[in-house]
Amino acid sequence: MTALETLRDRSFLRTLVLIAVPIALQNLLSSGINLLDNIMLGAVGEVEISAAATANQLFFIGNVLCVGIANGTNVLTAQYWGKGDGASIRKVLTLSYWAAIGVAAVFWLAATFFPAPILSLFSKDPEVLREAMVYLDVTRWLYLPASISTVALMTLRAVGTVNIAMVTSGVSLLTNGFLNWVLIFGNLGAPALGIKGAAIATLIARLVELAITLVFLARFEGKIRMGIRDLLRPDWAVGRDFRSNVVPVVCNESLWSVGSAATTAIIGNLSTGFLAASGIFTTVNQLTMVAAWGISSAAAVIVGNTIGEGKLALVMPRAKAVLILTFGVAAVLGGLLWVGRPAILSLYNITPETYQLAYQILGLGAGILLFQAVETTILMGILRGGGDVKLVLVADTVFMWVISIPLGAFTGFVLGWPLAVVYAVIKSDEVLKTAAGLWRLFRGNWVKDVTR
């Protein structure tokens, strides 16, 4: 069966849509929370946007590590599910939950005892740092609930349970938006708390998300059927499989997230306006990438299930079909981002200089989106689903650390290039990762059964 024949296969398309669409909607709603914070704080001022972006770096790194734990677990879970081995899935998930809780504890300690040294890595503006401290003092309490929700909702994807994540994100978005309106601006008789109000709203929204997730797991989840007893009795028999698949992914996400934080530090130390413009693009980019993330997640599940079922001849046609869909969707979204720049920036209270820089960065982002979508589908979806986690580790981190970060710092601090050009240099790793992913994909030797 060819890729084009696969695209005409109703069973394949139905499976792809049933997984990708709810995940994309969940990501859209989740990104909408960040967008609401970004826009509402943007109505207050540039300093608040920059402060929130600075304070969120610690949570960003910790959350990406938890996502890495979940993604690594999903490589095993999808293949075990294809084999009908629910007991092994529960054993792997137990280790995942404890690993995520450990990550959350470490980052809470860092935010509690070393906030000033950490925040000063990303900005030297005293006003930005003061507001960032206020924001971090509240949001450090969401690390634990967010880690549990992230692992729970993401691992459910591997067995095809995707709607609950969409529901939790939707309720969280509504909660966060309403509380932002009340607490940032002082509506309904509440005091106008500014950035602290945004932090409180985000914390409450995350707690609501966790509550819904726990109720679902306890009362309605019927596929994995994991209980408290499983969590209290870790089975280290699957420890080697867990380490060989999860550790490379976590290392991948660690290096990538720290690298992303390093680029934020470069941007923030070049100028506060650059940090604000970059923060605007980052939030918008999360919205435009939701379709690619949905397709990527679906690809990982489909490839993993196909390998687990022993249907190896179908793996490559299905992978190519997913890639074709990704390219088409990304091209459309990139075009919409290009033409929508004035409307997007009209929502923000920023200086003319920052507006112009953000306009240029959004234009670059329209082109970057195409590469981001393709490499995300290949690396995070197809290759990870196929068990090739070590190649993904190399491709996703080497280009960032060897090329984009050093060149970004050199062109910004030493050569003094225009900030939009520096941003393009920082994002150049997306092009290189796409090339590496395509090379690996079409070689065809990445399909691995990683279960026992």
Q: Print pLDDT tens along the chain (452 aa).
A: 787 788 888 888 898 988 888 888 877 877 777 778 878 888 888 888 889 989 998 998 998 899 889 988 887 887 788 788 878 888 889 999 999 999 999 999 999 999 999 999 988 899 999 999 999 999 999 999 999 999 999 888 778 787 898 899 899 999 999 999 999 999 999 999 999 999 999 999 999 999 999 999 889 887 888 878 878 777 776 777 788 878 888 888 888 889 999 999 999 999 989 999 998 998 899 888 988 989 998 898 899 888 888 888 888 999 999 999 999 999 999 999 999 999 999 988 889 999 999 999 999 999 999 999 999 999 989 998 887 877 778 888 899 999 999 999 999 999 999 999 999 999 999 999 999 999 999 887 788 776 65
Angle at CA of residue 266, ends 381 and 248, nearest 5° = 30
Q: Give me the half-sphere count of Cα atoms (radius 13 Å) on the Cβ side of residue 310.
A: 2
**Residues 412, 190: Cα–Cα separation, whole Å:** 43
Q: Which pLDDT score is estimated for 380?
A: 87
Q: Tally the residues of the chain.
A: 452
**Residues 347, 123: Cα–Cα separation, whole Å:** 24
CA dihedral for 139, 141, 145, 151, sign (positive or negative): positive
**Residues 140, 113: Cα–Cα separation, whole Å:** 11
Burial of 181 (0-12, 13-18, 19+ CB in 10 A): middle
> Which amino acid, 265?
A
- Say what angle helices 290-308 and 352-375 make with each other, to 10 degrees: 20
In sequence order, which ranges of 220-289 are alpha helices (DSSP H)? 228-232, 239-270, 272-288
Run of H or E including 146: helix 143-157
CA dihedral for 240, 246, 250, 256, sign (positive or negative): positive
DSSP letter, residue 448: -
**Residues 152, 146: Cα–Cα separation, whole Å:** 10
**Residues 425, 280: Cα–Cα separation, whole Å:** 18
Give residue limits of the domains in the chain: 3-442
Q: Give CB contacts under 8 A, 24+ apart, made by 123-129.
A: 123/50, 123/54, 123/268, 123/269, 123/272, 123/275, 124/268, 124/269, 125/47, 125/50, 125/272, 127/47, 128/47, 128/50, 128/51, 128/54, 128/268, 128/272, 128/275, 129/51, 129/54
Residue 145 near residue 71 (C-beta atoms within 8 A): no
Residue 63 near residue 144 (C-beta atoms within 8 A): no
Q: Tokens at residue 83, please?
A: 């084999």
Residue 372 near residue 430 (C-beta atoms within 8 A): yes
Phi and psi at 206, nearest 5°, equal -65, -35
User: Read out DSSP for 293-338?
Assistant: HHHHHHHHHHHHHHHHTT-GGGHHHHHHHHHHHHHHHHHHHHHHHH
**Residues 211, 188: Cα–Cα separation, whole Å:** 26
Among the listed residues 231, 295, 425, 225, the one whose alpha carbon sits nearest the alpha carbon of residue 24: 295
* pTM metric for this prediction: 0.78
**Residues 85, 93: Cα–Cα separation, whole Å:** 13
- Say what angle helices 389-399 and 239-270 make with each other, to 10 degrees: 10
Q: Which pLDDT score is estimated for 49?
A: 85
Kindly compute the dihedral angle of the four CA atoms of residues 60, 64, 70, 74, in this order, to the nearest 10 degrees: 140
Q: Which residues contact 291 (CB under 8 A, 6 or more apart)?
A: 20, 24, 329, 330, 333, 373
CA dihedral for 108, 109, 113, 117, sign (positive or negative): negative
Q: Enumerate helices (H) and strands (E) in the chain, giving the number of each.
A: 21, 0
